[in-house]
Structures are given as structure tokens and as C-alpha cells.
Amino acid sequence: NAGVTQTPKFQVLKTGQSMTLQCAQDMNHNSMYWYRQDPGMGLRLIYYSASEGTTDKGEVPNGYNVSRLNKREFSLRLESAAPSQTSVYFCASSQGRSSYEQYFGPGTRLTVT
Amino acid sequence: AQSVTQLGSHVSVSEGALVLLRCNYSSSVPPYLFWYVQYPNQGLQLLLKYTSAATLVKGINGFEAEFKKSETSFHLTKPSAHMSDAAEYFCAVSAMDTGRRALTFGSGTRLQVQP
């Protein structure tokens, strides 16, 4: 039981390049989330998916798109990376319904030059 | 809307001393409250959670937190700090009426434990 996995662990992009961050969970959770973590700002919600087939914007969605591929997988895409998107990205999942507890992946450290 | 304020971005204690990390929340509806810990270069791990049952919540590694509605607080404590407690701690709130159940995080408190 791996929990929440994320790939890649590290990535360096040039401004304007695109990439997709992958996330998968094996806990049969309904809800999945993407956060970014910046120094002194805690974690901020980018997008979430309450259940398979649904996605919705969070606090800081600009410059990102997501896909809930199936119940297990939730990807985050940067179409045209900008230096302001340099951050650590965390994927999380939760059972949803009556459970608010979220389980986090190990993170992807992204640098945009 | 909901929000979390963590007082003190850095806290330093001596090994064996009391740990107190402060968290105040704002929520228009009854909240669920969480404390997470993040060790260097790792993801977040749940320490404990309050979900409207007992107001004193015990978590892992000897940590506990008390929900005080009148003070809108959920401070994290540990009687005796250990070197391994050095990490960053995040308080988070989730309002029970929101369909998305996403967490709103505080800005974090970095705990340093001195030998």
C-alpha cells in the first residue's frame, strides 16, 4: 500500500515550457487535491476533484489545468511555465463524504528559470 | 469563509521543555481542525484531528491539542520536546458545510529543538 505517489520528484523548466505532474493514490479515495507550498504561505489549493469525473478551482488556479483520469489518478498540467510557478507541489487525497482527513504525497519540487 | 492564523513562524525550545504551538481559526460554521507535521523534504503527515467529538485530542508522538470554541483556538502541545520533533507544523481547518472539504492551512511554525 503505497498511499499517494507523485512523479517526478524534481523538475527544472525553462519559462514557456509545459509539463504534467502525475499523482496516484491506492486507497480508493473519492477526493483528490493539488496544493502548492511557498515559503511563509503554507499550502494553497490549486484544484480539487471531489469525485471521479469532476474538477473545480481552488484558491490559485491560474496557469494550471487538471485531469481526473480515473478514480486513482489526478494530474496537474502547466501549459506555459512561469517563474512564479516555482514551488513545491503536493497532491493529496481523502475519502470524502464524512471524512475530511487528507493524505499527502511526497511532493514535486519545480523550478522555472 | 475560513482562515487559520499560526502565531510565531519560528519557535525554539530546549530538549525536555514544553512545546506550545499556537493556532487560531475563523469559521462561520463548526470546523474540523487538524495539525500536520512536515519533516525536511517530505510531505505532510497528520498529527491529530478534531472532528466535534472530545475537545482534547491526542495524536501521535505524544502531541495533543485542545479545541476551545470560546477562544477559537486549537493550540498544539507536547509536555517534553525531543530532538526528533524539529520540523514544520501546520494547522488547518475544514468547514463541515463545504462540499469540497478542502483544507485551509496556516502559514506554518518551524519548531527548533536545542540540545
- Please report which confidence band the pLDDT of residue B98 belongs to, taking 50, 70 and 90 as the band edges: low
Cβ A101 vs Cβ A92: under 8 Å = no
pLDDT at A99: 61
Instruction: Output the CA–CA distances (angstroms, integers) from residue A86 to A5, A13, A70, A110, B20, in the order listed.
Output: 20, 9, 27, 5, 32
Which of 35-64 (A) contact B at CB < 8 A? 35, 40-45, 48, 50, 56, 58
Least confident of A1-15, B21-35, B46-60, B89-103: B89-103
pLDDT at A97: 62
What φ, ψ does residue B60 adopt, rounded to 5°?
-85, 160
> Is the confidence at residue A12, as pLDDT, over 80?
yes
CA distance A12 to A113: 7
Residue B111 cell numbers, joined? 519548531
CA distance A99 to A96: 5
Three-point CA angle A90, A93, A96, nearest 5°: 145
Which of 90-109 (B) contact A at CB < 8 A? 90, 94, 96, 99-108
Strand segments, DSSP code E, in chain A are 4-7, 10-13, 19-25, 31-37, 43-49, 56-57, 64-68, 74-78, 87-94, 103-104, 108-112
Q: How far is B50 from chain A (nearest CA, A)?
A: 10
> A83: which DSSP letter?
G
